[in-house]
Chain A
Amino acid sequence: MNKLLPALVSLGIVSLLGTFLLTGPARQQLFSGRSDLGEAFSRRDVNQNATGKLGPGSRNLENSAANTVTSIVLDYRGFDTLGEVTVLFAAVAGAGLILFARRRREGAAAATMPSSLILKAASPWIFLFLFVTGFVIILHGHLTPGGGFPGGAMVAAGLVLLMASAGHKPSGKRIHAVEALAGFAFVAIGVAGVVLRGSFLAHFADMGALGDFLSAPVTILLYLVIGLKVSAEVTNAVSTLEHVEEDGGKEAP
């Protein structure tokens, strides 16, 4: 049972992601490059502002992310977003610094309440849906509302739920590796812009057509990196919180 459940959950993740990609609008995106959702969104958001001039499929744009908010956050104000990610990192690092002094020693028993049956039974399946939805939101950040920050938080919420139900601690090393690599990748993408186009975070790849799944490729990469970083950071923060030494309520409340 202990090994069956993780296997089932990972199988479920793979099949759900596969269904998302191979049926309905997503299949269209993969095989014809056109996305219904992105098209509808660009029709609503862009056409209102530039009637008759721009629309789904427009090429050679300054930025072809159908979601205008994303095009501002990750392109025109991409450097601000790097600062925002750094602020999140500093906040988590600061909280970790305070809690680190009170961490529970390795092997010490956790004096927490046992998880209820409902939580134990339901959490793997809720985790599955949160995980898949989170990554779909991250990967569609340039087309539809959402993106790396809420998507990453959703993935982290799933991991926190799993942590609360099973009581296990996710591997700190792995979380730190994901976080560090994601932070490095953000800067690396920015530097690639300097090398190829002469300015930090410049769009160095082909923009593609407005509303396509593969439009604004640098924006997709940046949001993927941000999503991974946010999910790793939030999971790390909550897992530190979870593993603080019990004080037994000696201090007055």
Chain B
Amino acid sequence: MTWLVLLVCLPIVVGAVAVVTLRDLLSAIVVEGVVSLATAILFVFLGALDVAITQAVVGCGLTTAVFLYAWRRIPEKAREVSHE
């Protein structure tokens, strides 16, 4: 059980770091959705089914959709983030 939880936590941590460091905003949005999905699976393992459903629908579905709408408004030049 502990190993299962740790296994699910791995994509969450890796994804969270990737969201911050990725240069392409579209990839960052998709990775953010994957992090939400992994969080939802974690909630299932921990027995919080109500929270898991909400996390999957709102975090993975709606938030990603709203981010994508916002992404469409960003001018092409600004879609790549330059770090410093």
Give Cα distance in the complex from A146 to B54, angstroms. Answer: 7
List, in ascending order, chain A residues with CB within 8 A of B77's CB. Answer: 249, 253
| Closest chain A residue, CB of each to CB of B52 | A145
Question: Is B3 interfacial (CB-CB < 8 Å)?
Answer: no
Q: Mark B52-72, 1 if CB is under 8 A from A, else 0.
A: 111001100110011011101
Given the known interface contacts A112-B72, A150-B58, A249-B75, the answer about A238 and B66 at a Cβ–Cβ threshold of 8 Å is yes
Q: A113-B72, A150-B57 are in contact. Are A157 and B49 (CB under 8 A)?
A: no
Asked if residues A157 and B61 are in contact (CB atoms below 8 Å), the reply is yes
Asked if B53 and A146 sit within 8 Å, CB to CB, the answer is: yes
Please, which residues of chain A bring their CB within 8 A of the CB of B66? Answer: 238, 241
Determine the residue in chain B with the shortest Cβ distance to A242: B69
Q: A249-B78, A253-B78 are in contact. Are A153 and B69 (CB under 8 A)?
A: no
Most A CB within 10 A of own CB, among B50, B70, B75, B77: B50
For this complex, into which size category does the number of interface residues on chain A fall? Answer: 20 to 34
B35 to chain A, nearest CB (A): 18
Please give the distance in Å from B80's CB to the nearest CB on chain A: 11
Q: Are B61 and A153 in contact (CB under 8 A)?
A: yes
Tell me the bound Cα distance from A143 to B66 in angstroms: 31
Tell me how many residues of B have a C-beta within 8 Å of chain A. 20
Any B CB within 8 A of the CB of A124: no
A147-193 residues at the B interface, CB under 8 angstroms: 147, 149-150, 153-154, 156-157, 160-161, 164
* A246 interface contact, C-beta 8 A: yes
Query: Chain B residues near A161 (CB, 8 Å)?
Result: 65
Q: Which of B62, B69, B72, B75 contacts A157 (CB 8 A)?
A: B62
The answer on a CB contact under 8 Å between B53 and A137 is yes
Chain B residues lying within 8 Å of A146, measured Cβ to Cβ, are: 49-50, 53
Whether the pair B65, A149 counts as a contact (CB closer than 8 A) is no
Name the CB-closest residue of B to A141.
B50
Q: Are the CB atoms of A153 and B54 closer together than 8 Å?
A: yes
- Give bound CA distance, A145 to B73, whole Å: 37
Chain A residue numbers with a CB within 8 Å of B20 are none
Question: Interface residues, chain B, CB within 8 Å of chain A?
Answer: 49-50, 52-54, 57-58, 61-62, 65-66, 68-70, 72-75, 77-78
Query: Could you show 23 A-B contacts with beta carbons less than 8 Å apart?
Result: A112-B72, A145-B49, A146-B53, A150-B53, A150-B57, A150-B58, A153-B54, A153-B58, A154-B61, A157-B61, A157-B62, A160-B65, A161-B65, A238-B62, A238-B66, A241-B69, A248-B75, A249-B74, A249-B75, A249-B77, A249-B78, A253-B77, A253-B78
